[in-house]
Chains A and B, each alone.
Chain A
């Protein structure tokens, strides 16, 4: 069984993002870019399934600018066998990404598609579910456990009330949550070897997909800032302030 794993290039999660002065977006110049943390978890899970002999091949896919090759090389260093970059600059809606992934699913026929539950830049949390609709496959979103069992996969999901387990017929879509695994780090020799692994580049047109969106971002603003309050000396003062000043207890 092949596993397709979707990898997005995003602003690193440690960067404190700043809104541009002209309110057209956030400052992306000279900002550290990385693989979306949820995609790292997806890559790790795919590799573990390969190590267990469940998967035969792991294919990493990214939709983005030429620079997204960096994140695909990281996936290759971690253990993916080959990579595909769908080269496209600018903002791409989750629906368009799902359509591009659908075209690749048709071509590659994976048994599982792994995605992150959400990209930490747009915070959309959409692509996996949309790919589920487009392929007609079942979806196990926000996964904290994935067990392939014959022609189905059991997925334990992190839900608001606790945990839920569903059984999905393969092929299926899985989106990762934080507790699924702890991703490994790439070792230097693997980073060197990854440079020789195949990385193909295609365009949306090659895949027969038109890049379009019904959404326009009119402006991007900084959120209302909270200001630091006061430090209190002890518990008695805290309780007094909460009672008489803030009036919340």
Chain B
């Protein structure tokens, strides 16, 4: 039995979520192979070969895979996947876009966003915004699974020396093309793997006020997150949204500022080790999950906190 992990990468570098997915693969048991489909992706492939516990890296290097268009990548993954017992991808937007298309090509059900491996065919996953945890067993010949990063520790990025094997690329499906992207540029740590996250909600009032949180975050070496309401209102871009339908984070410290604590928000951050809530409404639901609550006007206490650090 061997397990195929689909790498998350930018051609030039391997995405951190790949490491958590490799850990999930190891928990299932069996040889772990990593597939890197990209264009000019040798650097990503070399990084994948160094991951501790990876036995082999398959590389499909072709212009058709440059932007991870699922119309082009899914047929490749499905073809390769036929030789494996499990096909795993990180539950990132790239993995979520790709893997169900692979599953349907293989005529199999997908198990989304597992947080634990019970055995080679049984997994735990949250449903209903994390209000329930389902234990799901699969009888499929090839188990197609996305992996929630916060459920598994990162595998060591160094220590392995897997063989790298080039595989033939398929044709460009010719039905989709990349037009452009606007990627957020930030020197702060990545939201999903940061040790500390400072998040702002509707209570921040406007985008300019988020400067306070950026300053605080820089002092703490933290990433900045947001509630849906803050994103919808245009205070911050969409890639900052934490929650059921945004990013899932589990830092050592999560500071929620001006966030009420709707269930959809809690779904994305209740796995944090320590939660701090700053809210002027003492009945805000966020206080029910906060280790330390400060009932106060954020415009008074955030500058104080900044000064105290």
* A residues neighboring B (CB under 8 Å): 11, 13, 16-19, 26, 38, 93-95, 98, 117-118, 120-134, 136-139, 141-142, 144, 154, 157-169, 172, 177-179, 213-223, 226, 228-232, 234-236, 238-239, 241-242, 246, 248-249
When the two chains form their complex, are residues B182 and A166 in contact, meaning their CB atoms are under 8 A apart? no
Query: A132 contacts which chain B residues (CB < 8 A)?
Result: 70-71, 101, 104
Query: A172 contacts which chain B residues (CB < 8 A)?
Result: 175
Partner of B274, one of A138, A166, A219, A248: A248
Q: Which of B46-54, B137-145, B163-171 forms contacts with chain A?
A: B137-145
Mostly, the B contact residues are: mixed
Q: Which of B100-142 contact A (CB under 8 A)?
A: 100-105, 107-113, 122, 126-140
Partner of B103, one of A18, A126, A144, A213: A126
Q: How many A-B residue pairs have CB under 8 A?
A: 265
Number of interface residues of B (CB under 8 A): 90
A167 to chain B, nearest CB (A): 5
Q: What 8 A-B pairs come out closest when comparing CB atoms?
A: A133-B104, A229-B291, A129-B100, A130-B104, A126-B100, A214-B140, A138-B176, A165-B179
A161-B127 CB under 8 A given contacts A94-B110, A218-B137, A235-B305: no
Residue of A nearest to B273 (CB): A248
Residue of A nearest to B98 (CB): A129
Query: A18 contacts which chain B residues (CB < 8 A)?
Result: 131
* Alpha-carbon distance between A236 and B92 when the two chains are bound, in angstroms: 38
When the two chains form their complex, are residues A178 and B232 in contact, meaning their CB atoms are under 8 A apart? yes
* Alpha-carbon distance between A71 and B30 when the two chains are bound, in angstroms: 46
Partner of B239, one of A38, A159, A167: A159
When the two chains form their complex, are residues B237 and A162 in contact, meaning their CB atoms are under 8 A apart? yes
Partner of B181, one of A98, A120, A162: A162
